Structure 1
Amino acid sequence: MATSTMEAGTTLLRTRWLKPSFAIEILDIDLPTASKDELLAFDDICRRTAVVVVRNQTLSDEQVLDVSGRLGKVSAQQYTGPHPKYPGISILSNKKVDGKYIGTPDAGRNWHTDGTTYAKLGLTTMLYGIECPPEGSDTLIADAAAAFESLPLERQRELEKLNVVHNRGHLIQKYNRAALSPEELAKMQDVIHPVVVKSAVDGRKSFFITNGSTKSVQGMSQEDGWALIKELIAYTVQEQFVYRHKWQDKDVLIWNDVGTLHSATPYDETKYERLVYRTWMRPFDVVSATTAIEELLPAH
C-alpha cells in the first residue's frame, strides 16, 4: 500500500495503511533512540488509530515497559505468564527451561476483547515479538466499529438497547487460570456494559462483545443471550473486517481494545519456538476512575 505521512507537532512520521482506516504501520522509527518529537508523534498515532505496527525494534525488557508506559498505566500481570522480574510483562511462549514453560503457550486462541471487567472502560494492548514462527501464530484483530456500522439501522437500534453482564471471576474460572478463594470471588463483582459503545479512537459506535467474561445478556435467557453474543462475534470477525498480522521477529503490535476483538492462531509447537511479551495499559484519563479494589484484583 502507498506510504503517507502523519503530522504530530513538528514531526512527520512516514506511515502506510495495512488495512485502510484501521491498521497502520509506522515506518523509519527506532523507538529506543527516537527523539522527543518522534515519540510524541508515535503517541498521537497510537491514540488516533485502532491498530499500530512498528517493525524491526530491538527493545530490552525495560524499554518494553518504557514504550508501554507512554500509552497508559501498565497493569500488573499475575496469572498469564507473569515475567519473573517485571510484573507489567506477560510472557507468551512455548519455550521451556528445566522442563517448565517460561510463559503461557496458548493464550488468546479464541475471539475476545480484553478490559471488559473494569467498571470504566479503556485498555490498550501491546505485543513485542522477540522470536516468531515463520508460519502460523498470526494475530487477528477485527474492526468492531465497521462491523456494527454495516448492519441495517433498525438492527443497530435494537442492539443499542442491550447490556451484557461481565465478571472477572467467571473469566478466570472458565479458562482454569487459577483457583480463586471465596473471598477473591466475592470481590469480583458483576460489571455491566452496553453491547454497543463508542470507540475510544474516533468515537464511532462499536460492538463491545467478548467470550470469556460474559455471564449473561440482561433481559434474555442464558441460552438466548449466549446465542446472541456468539452470533455477533461471528459476524464481527468476518474476513472483510479483520486485519491479520503476520509476525516477523522484533515486531511491535499495538491495539485499542475498545472497538476491536482479537484472536491468536495456532502454530506447530513441535517445530517452532515463540517468545512474545505482552503488556496491558489503562489509559491515563481513566486511571483515576479505577477503584482501589479493581486495582488489586487478579489480572483479567
Structure 2
Amino acid sequence: MTAITPLHPLFAAEVTGLDVSAPISDAKFSEIEAAFRRHSVLIFRDQRITDAQQIAFSERFGALETTKVGTVGAGSKLIVLSNMDAGGTVVPPSDRQVLNNRANQLWHADSSFKAVPAKASMLSARIIPSKGGDTQYISMRAVYRALPDRLKRAADGKVVIHDYAYSRSKVDPALVTEEERAAVPPVRQAMVIDHGPEFGCSLYLGSHAARIEGLSEGEGRALIDELMAFATEERFVYAHKWRPHDLILWDNRSVIHRATPFEGASEKRMMVRTTIAGDAPTLTAAA
C-alpha cells in the first residue's frame, strides 16, 4: 500500500510502498501526481533503478529535456552529476565536472536559463559520500505567501533576465564555453509565477537571475539579493540527507534547490538526473 508522509510543515513528502521500476496503474499514478502538485517535492526511498527505468518513470510526468551541450550526457535524456571520470577515478578539483558541481551549490531552479524552463527534475542517488553532498530545497510558494507586502509589490510584474553564463561566472569566469553561450543565451522570466487558485503564486529566482528589466543594475541586484535573503531563511528549507538509491522528484517552478559540499577530493558522488520539460514560458503565468 502506498503511503505519503509529509516531511516539512510547508512542503516535501516521502512516498513509501511504491516500486517505480514496476508498472504503475493510471489510478495510482494520478495519486502520485496529485501529491506532487501539493507537496512540490517527493522522496521515493530504495529505488534501485536503471537509467532506462528512470527515463520511463520520468516520462509519465511529461516529455524530457535533452541535455544541453557542455554537460556530461549532452544530447541524451540524462544528466550525470559526478566527480569521477569514465574509469571511476575521482577527478582533480580543477576539472569542469567539479567546477559545475560547485556551481550547483548555489540556490537555483534547473533550466531557468531556457526560454521554456523545466517543469520538474528527478534525481537518483547512485553513489553518495559518507557525509555531506546533501540537497536542500526551498518552497518558493511558501516564500511568496510570507513576503511582506512591500516586497510583494516590488516583485509582482517584474521580468528577470536569467543567464547561465552569469551564474557560472560566479565560480569561474572561463567555465562557460562559447558553444554553451550560443546554445543558452539570456532569457526573460517572470519573477512571480501564478499557479492558480489552489496553490497561489511562487517567487521565481535563483543563481541564474542576473538582472531585472526596467531597473538599473544596482537596483535590480539589490532587490534580487533582498528577496533571496528572505527566501533562504531556515523556516522555508527542507534539507535532504541522501541514502543510497533515493529518488527525488521536485517542481522547478515552485522550488529552488542546492547541493551541499562534501570531500570531493577523496569521496565519490554520482547522481543521475532526468528533467521534465516545461510546456509554456513563465511570462504566460505571471502574476
Task: Provide the TM-score with structure 1 as the length reference.
Answer: 0.79
Partner of 1:24: 13
Kindly indicate whether residue 218 of structure 2 is the aligned counterpart of residue 218 of structure 1: no
Structure with larger RCO (C-alpha < 8 A, sep 6+): 2
For 1:264 and 1:64, how far apart are their aligned partners in 2?
Answer: 21
For structure 2, list consecutive stretches of 5 or more residues without a partner in the other structure.
282-287
For 1:137 and 1:73, how far apart are their aligned partners in 2?
Answer: 28
Runs of 4 or more above 6 Å deviation: none
The alignment's C-alpha RMSD in Å is: 2.9
Query: How has the CA–CA distance of structure 1 residues 75 and 33 changed in structure 2, closer, same or farther, with 3 Å as cutoff?
Result: same
- Give SS of 2:124's match: strand
* Post-superposition offset of 1:143: 1.1
* Post-superposition offset of 1:131: 1.3
Does the Cα contact within 8 Å between 1:198 and 1:205 map onto a contact in 2? yes
1:261 counterpart letter in structure 2 = I
Question: 1 or 2, which has the higher strand percentage?
Answer: 1
Partner of 2:178: 180
* Post-superposition offset of 1:56: 0.3
Partner of 2:285: none
Partner of 2:141: 145
Query: How has the CA–CA distance of structure 1 residues 189 and 132 changed in structure 2, closer, same or farther, with 3 Å as cutoff?
Result: closer
Kindly indicate whether residue 51 of structure 2 is the aligned counterpart of residue 56 of structure 1: no
- Give SS of 2:229's match: helix
Query: How has the CA–CA distance of structure 1 residues 201 and 170 changed in structure 2, closer, same or farther, with 3 Å as cutoff?
Result: farther
Task: Summarize the alignment of residues 24-173 of structure 1 with structure 2, pairs less than 5 Å apart.
Answer: 24-36=13-25, 37-79=27-69, 81-83=71-73, 87-98=76-87, 101=91, 104-105=97-98, 106-107=101-102, 108-168=104-164, 170-171=166-167
Does the Cα contact within 8 Å between 1:30 and 1:57 map onto a contact in 2? yes
Task: Summarize the alignment of residues 228-243 of structure 1 with structure 2, pairs less than 5 Å apart.
Answer: 228-243=223-238
Does the Cα contact within 8 Å between 2:156 and 2:192 map onto a contact in 1? yes
Task: Summarize the alignment of residues 249-288 of structure 1 with structure 2, pairs less than 5 Å apart.
Answer: 249-283=244-278, 285-286=279-280
For 1:201 and 1:67, how far apart are their aligned partners in 2?
Answer: 28
For 1:200 and 1:262, how far apart are their aligned partners in 2?
Answer: 23
Partner of 1:4: none
For 1:14 and 1:215, how far apart are their aligned partners in 2?
Answer: 41
* Post-superposition offset of 1:21: 4.2
For 1:228 and 1:262, how far apart are their aligned partners in 2?
Answer: 20
1:146-189 Cα shifts (integer Å, max 9, x gaps): 112212224312321422122455556665444225xx756755
- Give SS of 2:205's match: coil
* Post-superposition offset of 1:44: 3.2
1:228 counterpart letter in structure 2 = L
For structure 1, list consecutive stretches of 5 or more residues without a partner in the other structure.
1-11, 288-300
- The counterpart of 1:192, out of the listed 175, 179, 188, is 188
Does the Cα contact within 8 Å between 1:91 and 1:104 map onto a contact in 2? no
Does the Cα contact within 8 Å between 1:91 and 1:103 map onto a contact in 2? no
Does the Cα contact within 8 Å between 2:118 and 2:275 map onto a contact in 1? no
Query: How has the CA–CA distance of structure 1 residues 29 and 188 changed in structure 2, closer, same or farther, with 3 Å as cutoff?
Result: closer
1:180 counterpart letter in structure 2 = E
Bigger CA drift: 17-26 or 215-224? 215-224
For 2:249 and 2:181, how far apart are their aligned partners in 1?
Answer: 31
